[in-house]
Amino acid sequence: MVRAVGQELRRAAPTTDSRISDLVGNTPLLRIHLFEGLAPTLAVYAKAEFMNPGGSVKDRAALGMIRDAVRTGRLTHGRTILDATSGNTGVAYAMLGAAFGYRVKLVVPGNVGAERRRLMLAYGAELVFSDPQEGSDGAIRLCRRICEQEQERYFYPDQYNNPANWRAHYETTGREIWEQTGGEVTHFLAGLGTGGTFVGTARRLKQLNPEIVCVSLEPDDPLHGLEGLKHMAAAIVPGIYDPGVADIHLLGPTDEAYDLVRQLARREGILVGHSTGLALWGIGRLIQDGLREGVAVMISPDGGDRYLSSGLYGGP
């Protein structure tokens, strides 16, 4: 049986020499009630990744890539961490760079949200802005050019192609979901950005129980409004993305995703970002297609407070 909300997997008591990186992971599962009228015997949970210290699921990948690079000698204190990001991974790099004493330089689209921009700067990161019309792909291309010009100066994690990204989720997120549900999870859902969260978590869950249905989601339009997610057919496809891991792949609409996050905030007091809305839409789609019972766990990558200036929740 799934443990009570808030009791799923408690962090060990912090010691006197803890640092912020020790708080990454072990996020709780939150019960979602939006769909109980349609499927009363289906238990839906959100993995509350916005409760990581940097505020998003990307804390896990950033920490995994940094630790791997330090272990292999690719990252030393003489090098600056440089990567392209749409925001959340950049916040994680900036936070961890400050904690570990590394300089951080981030290439972000010029239209990155005000909240994430300010967070990266608050941690002391240097920002380089790419053409906003080119989205995350434009940031990737500019980042590669910068790195090629001064390769000895930078450590380029390349989150879109670094296997330490998905391994972080294989080692932590997948294991946590299994333990938190007592092995009863039947469905797993996550949106696609780098692909690391979905691929790593799904691989671990499939290893533990091949019968778990793993569902990947992406926006249904290249000009979508779902921050952090990729429309794969119109984007540079990440090297770590493996479409064969998914049992079901869904393309969902921006407007309905927005509506669902607003419902979640106003009915259940859970404030989440755009990408959680797509996962919620995915739950609704599975129910529409006949899912009525089981334990469905979806990733909630970040909180809605990062998107207040975007108008996601209304207001001026």
Say if residue 7's pLDDT is above 50. Answer: no
Active site residue 58: yes
Query: What pLDDT was estimated at residue 62?
Result: 98
pLDDT of residue 5: 41
Burial class (CB in 10 A: 0-12, 13-18, 19+), 158: buried
Mean pLDDT of 139-152: 94
Q: Provide the pLDDT for residue 316.
A: 54
Residues 6+ apart with CB under 8 A from 315: 308
Q: Which of 21, 47, 56, 58 is catalytic?
A: 58
Active site residue 47: no
Confidence of residue 135 (pLDDT cuts 50, 70, 90): confident
> Confidence class of residue 310 from pLDDT cuts 50, 70 and 90?
confident
**CATH topology assigned to domain 20-56+166-310:** Rossmann fold (3.40.50)
Q: Above 80 in pLDDT, residue 293?
A: yes
On whether the CB atoms of residues 125 and 104 are closer than 8 A, the answer is yes
CB 299 within 8 A of CB 103: no
pLDDT, one tens digit per residue, over 214-244 is: 999 999 999 898 988 999 999 899 999 999 9
What would the mean pLDDT of 128-134 be, rounded to a whole number? Answer: 93
* DSSP string for 86-128: SSHHHHHHHHHHHHHT--EEEEEETT--HHHHHHHHHTT-EEE
Helices 274-288, 254-268: axis angle to 10 degrees equals 100
Residue tagged active-site, from 21, 86, 136, 275: 275
Q: Yes or no: is domain 58-155 CATH 3.40.50.1100?
A: yes
Percent of the chain exceeding pLDDT 90 equals: 85
pLDDT per residue over 157-197, tens digit each? 999 999 999 999 999 999 999 999 999 999 999 999 999 99
CA–CA dist 105, 97 (Å, integer): 10
Residues of the chain with CATH 3.40.50.1100: 20-56+166-310, 58-155
46 Rama sector, left if φ>0, alpha if ψ -120 to 50, beta otherwise: beta
pLDDT at 119 over 50: yes
Question: What is the rounded distance in angstroms from the CA atom of residue 284 to the CA atom of residue 261?
Answer: 13
Residue of higher predicted confidence among 231 and 16:
231
Phi, psi of 151 (to 5 degrees): -60, -35
Query: pLDDT for 244-258, tens place per residue?
Result: 999 999 999 999 999
